[in-house]
Amino acid sequence: MIFVKRILLFSLITIPASLLAQAPPVQSKYKPEYFTFQEVMIPMRDGVRLQTVIQRPKNAVGPLPMLFARTPYGVPEDSNSLTESGLFDDLIADGYIFVSQNIRGRFKSEGTFIMQRPPRDKNDSKSVDECTDAYDTIFWLLKNLPDNNGRVGMWGISYPGWLVTQALLDPHPALKAASEQASPDDMFINDDFHHNGAFRLSYGFEYSALLESSKEKNTNFDFDQYDTYSWYLGLGALSNANQRYFHGKLPTWNDFVEHPNHDFWKQHSVTAYLKHTTVPNLNVAGWYDQEDFVGPTRIYATLKQTDTDHLNYFVAGPWNHGGWMDKSGRKLGDIDWGSDISGYYRSHILAPWFAHWLHDKPLTEPAALTYQTGTNVWKSYDEWPPRKGITDKKLYLRSGGKLSFEPSPEQDAFDSYISDPANPVPYRNRPITPTYPAPAWTTWLVQDQRFVERRPDVLSWQTDSLVEDVTVTGDIIADLFASTTGSDGDWIVKLIDVYPEDYQKINEEDATKGTGPVLNGYQLMIADEILRGRYRNSLETPAPITPNQVTEYRIDLHPNDHVFLKGHRIMVQVQSTWFPLYDRNPQKFVDNIYKAIDADYVKATQRVYRSKGAASSVELPVVGK
């Protein structure tokens, strides 16, 4: 295979190049010569040596703590990575020795790369995992780096964030602070590779090729069509991927094929074994993270249950994947959030966090801090999600495409559509460029949903214009009653904020007077999720759906903090395909969808019920009455 250009800029932590490209460069206060640059090979307990880069301020006064990041994506090649963007100035000002390390089997690091290496068997004294590698590295650094103050902080975004969670399993005593940012949790229930058992096709396919096609570099799959929607449709059944392209050479793709259910993937789940930590941890999430939004929320919620010492903190805002390391974060796609939220995060949240635990500076940060969209203000809470002052209210699907907080009195009422795997609903506007490298992938969650509203295989319901603000803070649940003529099927639910048709006129003072995006009638997704029907009862044991039988599906749309403003409308959309973000369900039950053949894919008629005995709704945690 031939691959195209690299997608990521590698620095102290992994920052997608597309993020840095969204904004003009920042003028850093510091020059590369501010740091010394040293590359070493640090030995692990089994003799494997890991490529590690150390960057130390040349004129530091007194011993300094270390900020340590581990990554599969490549370590810095010089000190420009710290100083060129200006994004690390707040941390540099506080004073740290910056350490970056490639994990086993990546770039110059020795050993074998295993995607999300499972925790070791502690009964085997010779076993190793990412936790032991972090421990051994910290041990070496403390012994061999002069003028360190004996304290270490770890941080990272995405895979490097997951590596932070692994270090927390059995932390070195010198690890005094951590910040997992956008870490995946359970790759079958949420985040990168699956959501509720539905395979994230374009991501899983392209990410496997990215990391496992070459040890020495990150490489992208070379599509021979510009529109990957057409390319993946032409691929046909998932079983064609190995036959035509991978030929059994990518370990992660082979895992997808041979382990279609949750049993295998549980061993990679963070919250299956990280139940408690003695290390303060700042969990960071983005409402519009296209890869790992759910992970930080689940990791925070799990650790909160045993957090008697108040060491577990949560921050979220309307960022995409790693967007808090964008220049300002004020805009995402066409949406303007009203302020420099990324700059605020770095200077008022992240830097003070590490300065407190590693430099003994004061910390006034609340347990949870979120940027509430709609009102576009920072909100602080004693816990996340908050329960004080919250009322769970059901928003019911009604006839005529209406939504109401009152249930329907009708009997046996439903709306229906035909789901055709040969003509799946695109997840964003076509042409759909590759996941990597493509800026469109980073902003698709804020794309105007009007492009699918009138498709015959997408159902939409909406409220009248709101007469007052509706504030939704907490976990959102879809309660869907539906039937299918097939024996399997996917159910996708989207909660949408519909802007007024005269929005631009209302906001004339802030409008860009014709030079920027027109948001009149804009349909902005607030929450969304998919459920693969075969897993409605058990993620370990899939079961066929009884055709034409009304079945209840409860779908977690995850927590959010958003205000549907007066004059806006609330919309709910339901569909059964979302392509090629997710693979197509054959809609006929087969033992293993990854081994299905093209003939297994069939049309199905889907019914979504809105009747008295089967009242489909979305449950909203509403602030106030």
Does position 465 have pLDDT exceeding 90, yes or no?
A: yes
Q: Which has more confidence, 7 or 365?
A: 365
Residue 220 confidence (pLDDT)? 83
Residues 434, 225: Cα–Cα separation, whole Å: 10
Residue 625 confidence (pLDDT)? 65
Q: Which residue has the tokens 């510091």?
A: 30
Does position 506 have pLDDT exceeding 80, yes or no?
A: no
Compute how many other C-beta atoms are within 10 angstroms of the C-beta atom of residue 372: 21
Residue 6 confidence (pLDDT)? 27
Residue 509 confidence (pLDDT)? 55
Does position 24 have pLDDT exceeding 60, yes or no?
A: no
Q: Which has more confidence, 7 or 572?
A: 572
Residues 51, 74: Cα–Cα separation, whole Å: 9
Residue 1 confidence (pLDDT)? 28
Does position 60 have pLDDT exceeding 90, yes or no?
A: no
Residue 9 pLDDT class (50, 70, 90 cuts) = very low
Residue 513 confidence (pLDDT)? 52
Does position 352 have pLDDT exceeding 80, yes or no?
A: yes
Does position 75 have pLDDT exceeding 60, yes or no?
A: yes
Q: Which has more confidence, 583 or 11?
A: 583
Residue 531 confidence (pLDDT)? 98
Residue 210 confidence (pLDDT)? 83
Percent of the chain with pLDDT over 70: 93
Residues 294, 185: Cα–Cα separation, whole Å: 7
Does position 11 have pLDDT exceeding 60, yes or no?
A: no
Least confident of 30-39, 186-195, 508-517: 508-517
pLDDT in tens, 141-150: 999 999 999 9
> Strands 335-336 and 368-372, how do they pair?
unpaired
Work out the mean pLDDT of the chain and round it to a whole number.
92
Residue 7 pLDDT class (50, 70, 90 cuts) = very low
Q: Closest Cα to residue 187, out of 39, 291, 112, 109? A: 291
Among positive and negative, which fits the CA dihedral 375, 381, 386, 389?
A: negative
Residues 243-267, mean pLDDT to the nearest whole number: 93
Is the CB of residue 368 less than 8 Å from the CB of residue 310?
no
pLDDT in tens, 384-414: 999 999 999 999 999 999 999 999 999 999 9
Residue 526 confidence (pLDDT)? 98
Least confident of 116-125, 343-352, 495-504, 575-584: 116-125
Residues 82, 625: Cα–Cα separation, whole Å: 49
Q: Which residue ranges form the domains of the chain, and what is each CATH number?
A: 3-119+131-185+269-381 (3.40.50.1820), 390-623 (2.60.120.260)
Q: Closest Cα to residue 580, out of 353, 471, 426, 354? A: 426
pLDDT in tens, 535-557: 999 999 999 999 999 999 999 99
Least confident of 217-226, 571-580, 586-595: 217-226
Residues 596, 586: Cα–Cα separation, whole Å: 8
Residues 187, 553: Cα–Cα separation, whole Å: 21
Residue 568 pLDDT class (50, 70, 90 cuts) = very high
Residue 16 pLDDT class (50, 70, 90 cuts) = very low
User: Any idea of the CA torsion for 373, 292, 582, 544, to the nearest 10 degrees?
Assistant: -100
pLDDT in tens, 321-342: 999 999 899 999 999 999 999 9
Residues 83-89, mean pLDDT to the nearest whole number: 91
Please report, as a single letter, which amino acid is at residue 577.
T
Least confident of 11-15, 87-91, 422-426: 11-15
Percent helix, percent strand, percent coil in the chain, to nearest 5: 25, 30, 45
Residue 272 pLDDT class (50, 70, 90 cuts) = very high
H or E, element range at 264: helix 262-265
pLDDT in tens, 182-233: 999 999 999 999 999 999 999 999 988 887 877 666 778 889 999 999 999 9
